[in-house]
Structure 1
């Protein structure tokens, strides 16, 4: 019997909410990227408006997380698997939290943008957010194909490593740049590290998916 046929109505409802939650987390990342693009282009007002969208999306994701947890506590899945899904949803939600934290730091600190680093910062954002695309596929694959879930989890991990390399290279260049003040270096260190945290949190979730998938093979 195919694995998806083993799930009942409650489990299928949980899977639907998890997909909705992934969409909300994805929206949070999308608005975060748009906010950074506007800020790096000097459009501070637009960036501040987009911060509101980041916050609203993260709040909606958080509400969905709690709804999923309540459904799980009410009896969806057997007790042995329930904790795995509760933990998974929390880890996915942490990705949105990391994006919101990066957005807040940028807007609250409002550092000057060194022109020569604009493109490098955007590359880091793109590479960090790409980890979530692999994670999303891994989560959805858990419903029907654990081997596929494992493959996408490995892709998430590999992408996080790529993002890490870009993050460390960018930080090294900024700290070695004598034209950037110490204060600006410290602020950009926080912002860039928080952008990298998005990829780190996605990898945390993918690690958990690997454990879940191995248990179900």
Structure 2
């Protein structure tokens, strides 16, 4: 992306690059739904194709992150601190990194979620992705928030959205604990190495929601200093 393009983008809105990045991150994460469907069906060829798509979207998000870090002007007047924006960008990017790691590990070991856990895991995954989608919606409200000077009904809206993000993350913690309990009950019947990796996958899927919440927390800190 040419420097002039980046300058023009930030001149129009300092938030647009963050919105573009988080949208790419969410697109990356949403592919985990069909990815796990393919994996559970032992369609490893399709799962690998989806893993490659996830990896490509993560690369695109990473490219956006690097471009913005390098080309965000230091002297440009903005209503938010440059450092806060870059830190928020970093937190967003970690979500896509985790999605890539999850897909890579599952395909690498042809790892299956035990059948007794499968439906519960699907709910867990969907709820974690609710968190990443909520983080995306919050970031997409920032333009309106800037227009109001971080005041009024728009501020209340964004604060409420971050509160909802916190509630979603609480739900994922509960679902993760229940899944870990299920796995503990059947782990003696499974390959011990697979058990180790299954616990790791449960943790990493939960990290999607945890990291989405960190985006919301980081945004609150940024707003508080603005």
TM-score (norm 1): 0.88
Q: Which runs of 5+ in 2 are unaligned?
A: 1-7
From the superposition, tell whether residues 80 and 27 of structure 1 become closer, same or farther in structure 2 (CA, over 3 Å): closer
Q: Shift of residue 76 of structure 1?
A: 3.7
- Report Cα offsets for 1:163-192 as digits up to 9, x if no partner: 111011101110121433322221100111
Q: Which runs of 5+ in 1 are unaligned?
A: 1-7
Q: What does residue 140 of structure 1 align with?
A: 140
From the superposition, tell whether residues 9 and 127 of structure 1 become closer, same or farther in structure 2 (CA, over 3 Å): closer
Aligned 1:60-79 pairs, distance under 5 A: 60-78=60-78
Q: Shift of residue 73 of structure 1?
A: 3.8
**SS of alignment partner, residue 144 of structure 1:** helix
Q: Shift of residue 83 of structure 1?
A: 0.5
Q: Shift of residue 71 of structure 1?
A: 3.2
Further displaced range: 77-86 or 118-127: 77-86
1:86 aligns with 2:95: no
1:203 aligns with 2:213: yes
Aligned 1:183-194 pairs, distance under 5 A: 183-194=193-204
1:159 aligns with 2:168: yes
Q: What does residue 10 of structure 2 align with?
A: 10
Aligned 1:44-123 pairs, distance under 5 A: 44-78=44-78, 81-123=81-123
1:174 aligns with 2:183: yes
Q: What does residue 215 of structure 1 align with?
A: 225
Q: Shift of residue 199 of structure 1?
A: 0.6
Give the distance between the partners of 1:76 and 1:42, measured in 2 at CA.
52
Q: Shift of residue 152 of structure 1?
A: 1.4
- Report Cα offsets for 1:91-130 as digits up to 9, x if no partner: 1111111111111111112224321211111111100010
**SS of alignment partner, residue 111 of structure 1:** coil
Give the distance between the partners of 1:63 and 1:206, measured in 2 at CA.
22
Further displaced range: 165-174 or 36-45: 36-45
Q: Shift of residue 9 of structure 1?
A: 6.2
Further displaced range: 36-45 or 144-153: 144-153
Give the distance between the partners of 1:78 and 1:17, measured in 2 at CA.
13
**SS of alignment partner, residue 196 of structure 1:** helix
Paired residue total: 209
From the superposition, tell whether residues 11 and 161 of structure 1 become closer, same or farther in structure 2 (CA, over 3 Å): farther
Give the distance between the partners of 2:112 and 2:92, measured in 1 at CA.
32
